[in-house]
Structure 1
Amino acid sequence: MDDLADLPATDLVAAYRSKAVSPVEATEAAFDRIARFDAEVNAFCLIDEEEALRQARDSESRWNRGTPAGALDGVPTSIKDLLLTQGWPTLRGSRLSNPDQDWNEDAPSVARLREAGAVLIGKTTTPEFGWKGVTDNPLTGATTNAWNETRTSGGSSGGSASAVALGMGQLSVGTDGGGSVRIPAAFSGIVGMKPTYGAIPLYPSSPFGTLAHAGPMTRTVEDAALMMDVLCGFDARDWSALRPPTESYRARLNDGIDGLRIGYSRDFGYAEVDPDVAASVEQAARVLAGLGARIDEVDPGFDDPRGAYHVLWFAGAAKVLDGYDPERWSEVDPALLDVADAGRQMSAMDVLAANQVRADLGRRMGAFHETYDLLITPTVPIGAFEVAAETPAGRGLTRWTEWTPFTYPFNLTQQPAISVPCGLTRDGMPIGLQLVGPRHSDALVLRAAAAYAAAAPFGVPPMGDDAGRPGATAG
């Protein structure tokens, strides 16, 4: 039964339909993996086996009647602890959050998962209020990497990444305000997608404003497309939500990329990239060329927008803490306090100037996509580093944004971007390939990612060897 934890959601649903597998069996397999691995990686801040098994039994009954609730009926799924989940506290990794209140509302993505019949198994860890690109917080401690327990899982959706990588539920929903789905996906050897802003509704609105997205975290691109079909459902609580698509994201997923024009940027002209990361991404570009795409090595033509991003992100951090009693700020991650203090110094003119940079960046990327259907880059220029550190040791870096130059620009532009695994570093840690498309091209981004993943399959974490799973392999 343990092998059920390794099946993609698409295969699980097919097995439910044929009655070869029960949702109860699949849910038990997910909890077996949690029992085996979560003490090592600390991916979950809340686990509710009793409720999950009740949901699984209900799903089994629906499948036996031939009346599944939706596309994800019976699939074990976790939720990042920034998203409201009815019946469970949403503490956001902070001691400031009060667990003793009514938790009677689902975020839009959680509501859509329930409607589709997903089995909700628990909530995954996040840095405090999701503020940084690694996952540790004062409330639940540090989350480690599924491939090496001495390394970070990345963040801020690090718990979700480690859970999915180790088969502790097939699916998870993360959030991404500067790379928070894509960074941990790259570090953990899984698929993580940040869709076009507004494609997946958010409620309540993020204090980080229109930088914030929700997105699927899965083992396969097919599962990411399956989740997108569910998560992009309408929710009136998000005033900025887009109209749901009229065609399934899976409809043309396997149409290939023959004839696509793809720009390949090694470093944007200013970023430092580790040699093994650069070599893996270059090899991925060759794979895409072999599938019929035209690959040009070209930079998109913008300066590093980190300063503008900091204005908006730090101001958001200040807004987060201003909702709590200052006498309790001593309980907060000290680095978050520093960032929030910097945010309080931002003026309205600073924010307007940052938004001008953002608009110019969007204009430049719009012009880029007049020529190129897609842009490919490394997801992160380095491999996963030591756990519980905001930046890797020995590189002279201060903030997490200094080692994530390829992710936050596309939160500023609101473009869809996906990370898929494309290799291993010299010390055996996963490397991510990022594929970026123009706004509203989510289906195209998924299609290109699916083509690459089919041509260059990737393995599972070696921590799973004692579970009878194969060791890590990279295509």
Structure 2
Amino acid sequence: MSDLLGMTAAELAGAYGRGETSPVEATRAALEAIDARDAELNAFVLVDAEGALRSAAESEARWVGGTQRGPADGVPTTVKDLEQARGWPTLRGSWLSGDPTPGRDDSPSVARLREAGAVILGKTTTPEFGWKGVTDSGRFGITRNPWDPALTPGGSSGGSAAAVAAGMGTWSVGTDGGGSVRVPAAFTGTVGFKPTGGLVPAFPPGSNGHLSHRGPIALSVLDAATLLDVLARPDARDWAAGTHPGGSFTDEIEAGVAGLTIGYSPDLGYGRNDPEVEALAAAAVETLAGLGARVREIEPVFADPVAAFQTMWCAGIARTLRPFEPDHLTRVDPALLEYGERGREISAVSYLDAMAVCADLGLKMARFHETYDVLVTPTVPCVAFPAGRNGPTPEQSDVWASWTPYTYPFNMTRQPALSVPCGITRAGLPAGLQIVGPRHRDARVLRVGRAYERHTGWSPVAEASRARATTRGRPS
């Protein structure tokens, strides 16, 4: 069973087709991993073993009968507990979501997963309402990193990333309002993709509106593309959803990077990196050059838009907290409550000013992409830091955007952005490389990530297991 934990969805589908293993065996392996590891990692708020095994048996019958629904059929899957799932409560990491009544409807992402035959194991942890870049909450406690449980997996999709990195499900659906898919992917050595805004339908809509995205966290870029094929199907409940470009996101994924022009920025002109992270990102860019890409280090394209981002983020939190009476808010994360208080002071004019900053950023990046096929940066300037903290340093704890400077700009522009693992520091922790493309060029971004991935042969589950064994051997 343990041999199944490091298999990608593509490898599982191949093995199902050849009769070498089955959806039931893969689901049992994932459930065994949950039993063995989740007491330590705390990545799940709900596990439905009985329902998962029932779905796996139905999938197995389809594979045996030659009626499988595609490459997602029978793949053990998780979803972040901001998504609605029929028969399960949606608690959003908060005591404010006090009603444990099972939901009656699936969100668009969950509905598409069921239609594709995926086996949904359960729901993963989030900070309250997905508000910050690490994953802990007063209701469900601290989620930990499979590479070293003393460290955070990042957030806010930290439960999803921890589950994938530990083999507790092959892939997951996360949400990303400022880096919440990409940051935990970087911290856990997994792949995280924030698609073009609106490509993956959402319902109910998130309070952060323009900033909110949904996307895959997976063991490989190929898996992320395959899962995106499932998630990007239309849903009439999302009036603002975009149009699927047609075809599959895997159609050109093996085309390589020869002839592409890559703009590389180590810091976007305003970030400050851990030297090892910067060196690993630079080495990854050299790898892309060696694979035939034309790589140029670029001058800054825009100034740090953090003030406009914070305006939009705080306003969204104020909207999230608005329905609740003051006496209910006493159990809310104090830092979240402070963000909400800031948000209530934001005027409509200030919000529209922030939206104007988004428009200006989008124009600057559109012009940038007239010359460059993709932009490459580190995903995060640092690696995972101790769990239970809101930031790598006390100075950065109050404003999580202060230590995620390379992710949130591309929520503001709604461009596709991918995080792929780009190596391990001397402390044995993974770092991430971010690849950003023009809007509606998701396939191009995935193609670049896949070229790098194919060259490195990275296996996050195996690497995390080795790192964990090393960590346990260190003196305390």
- Which interval holds the TM-score relative to the shorter structure? over 0.9
| Alignment partner, residue 389 of structure 1 | 389
| Alignment partner, residue 70 of structure 2 | 70
Q: Matches of 2:192 and 2:55 in 1, distance apart?
A: 26
Q: Matches of 2:469 and 2:378 in 1, distance apart?
A: 31
Q: Matches of 2:410 and 2:467 in 1, distance apart?
A: 39
Residues 1:39 and 1:463: Cα distance change in structure 2 (over 3 Å)? farther
Query: Helix, strand or coil: the match of 1:160?
Result: helix
C-alpha distance after superposition, 1:84-140 (max 9, x if no partner): 011111100001113343511011011000000000001000000000000001110
Superposed CA RMSD in Å reads 1.6
| Alignment partner, residue 449 of structure 1 | 449
The alignment-based identity, stated in percent, is 53
Contact map agreement 1:300 1:365 (CA 8 A) in 2? no
| Alignment partner, residue 398 of structure 1 | 398
Q: Matches of 1:320 and 1:397 in 2, distance apart?
A: 21
Contact map agreement 2:59 2:68 (CA 8 A) in 1? yes
Q: Matches of 2:394 and 2:325 in 1, distance apart?
A: 36
C-alpha distance after superposition, 1:249-291 (max 9, x if no partner): 1111101010101000011111111100100000001000001
Query: Helix, strand or coil: the match of 1:144?
Result: coil
Q: Which amino acid aligns with 2:363?
A: R
Q: Shift in Å at residue 5 of structure 1?
A: 1.5
Q: Matches of 1:467 and 1:344 in 2, distance apart?
A: 44
Q: Which amino acid aligns with 1:166?
A: A
| Alignment partner, residue 464 of structure 1 | 465
Q: Shift in Å at residue 457 of structure 1?
A: 2.6
Residues 1:102 and 1:168: Cα distance change in structure 2 (over 3 Å)? closer
| Alignment partner, residue 172 of structure 2 | 172
C-alpha distance after superposition, 1:322-353 (max 9, x if no partner): 12222110011110000000000000111011
Q: Shift in Å at residue 238 of structure 1?
A: 0.4
Q: Matches of 1:388 and 1:303 in 2, distance apart?
A: 31
Q: Is there any run of 5+ residues in structure 2 with no aligned partner, and where?
A: none
Q: Shift in Å at residue 426 of structure 1?
A: 2.8
C-alpha distance after superposition, 1:137-162 (max 9, x if no partner): 11100101110111111000000000
Q: Matches of 1:107 and 1:100 in 2, distance apart?
A: 17
Residues 1:342 and 1:4: Cα distance change in structure 2 (over 3 Å)? same
Q: Which amino acid aligns with 1:158?
A: G
Structure 1 outlier segments of 4+, above 4 Å: 394-397, 465-469
Query: Helix, strand or coil: the match of 1:240?
Result: coil
User: In the alignment, does 2:285 pair up with 1:282?
Assistant: no
Residues 1:397 and 1:466: Cα distance change in structure 2 (over 3 Å)? closer
| Alignment partner, residue 236 of structure 1 | 236
Q: Matches of 1:102 and 1:274 in 2, distance apart?
A: 44
Q: Which amino acid aligns with 2:54?
A: R
Q: Shift in Å at residue 59 of structure 1?
A: 0.8
| Alignment partner, residue 247 of structure 1 | 247
Query: Helix, strand or coil: the match of 2:120?
Result: strand
| Alignment partner, residue 105 of structure 2 | 105
Contact map agreement 2:133 2:183 (CA 8 A) in 1? yes
Q: Matches of 1:184 and 1:378 in 2, distance apart?
A: 13
Matches within 5 A, 1:350-369: 350-369=350-369
Query: Helix, strand or coil: the match of 2:295?
Result: strand
Contact map agreement 1:70 1:115 (CA 8 A) in 2? no
Query: Helix, strand or coil: the match of 1:175?
Result: strand
Contact map agreement 2:109 2:200 (CA 8 A) in 1? yes
Matches within 5 A, 1:30-429: 30-393=30-393, 395=395, 398-429=398-429
Contact map agreement 1:71 1:117 (CA 8 A) in 2? no
User: In the alignment, does 2:437 pair up with 1:432?
Assistant: no
Q: Matches of 2:396 and 2:444 in 1, distance apart?
A: 38
| Alignment partner, residue 11 of structure 1 | 11
Contact map agreement 2:9 2:71 (CA 8 A) in 1? no
Work out the number of aligned pairs and report it. 470
Contact map agreement 2:147 2:467 (CA 8 A) in 1? no
Q: Which amino acid aligns with 2:286?
A: R
Contact map agreement 2:390 2:397 (CA 8 A) in 1? no
Contact map agreement 1:181 1:217 (CA 8 A) in 2? yes
Residues 1:28 and 1:415: Cα distance change in structure 2 (over 3 Å)? same
Query: Helix, strand or coil: the match of 2:215?
Result: strand
Contact map agreement 1:153 1:384 (CA 8 A) in 2? yes
Contact map agreement 1:300 1:364 (CA 8 A) in 2? no
Q: Which amino acid aligns with 2:439?
A: R
Q: Which amino acid aligns with 1:314?
A: C
Q: Is there any run of 5+ residues in structure 1 with no aligned partner, and where?
A: none
Contact map agreement 2:208 2:316 (CA 8 A) in 1? yes
Contact map agreement 1:71 1:230 (CA 8 A) in 2? no
C-alpha distance after superposition, 1:216-252 (max 9, x if no partner): 0001111001101111001000011112231111111
Moved more, 2-11 or 393-402: 393-402
Query: Helix, strand or coil: the match of 1:71?
Result: coil
Q: Which amino acid aligns with 1:259?
A: G
Q: Matches of 1:31 and 1:396 in 2, distance apart?
A: 37
Q: Which amino acid aligns with 2:465?
A: G
Contact map agreement 1:76 1:170 (CA 8 A) in 2? yes
C-alpha distance after superposition, 1:30-56 (max 9, x if no partner): 011111111111010101101100111
Q: Matches of 2:20 and 2:242 in 1, distance apart?
A: 38
Q: Shift in Å at residue 397 of structure 1?
A: 5.0
Q: Which amino acid aligns with 1:301?
A: V
Moved more, 197-206 or 321-330: 321-330
Residues 1:315 and 1:376: Cα distance change in structure 2 (over 3 Å)? same
Q: Matches of 1:144 and 1:468 in 2, distance apart?
A: 16
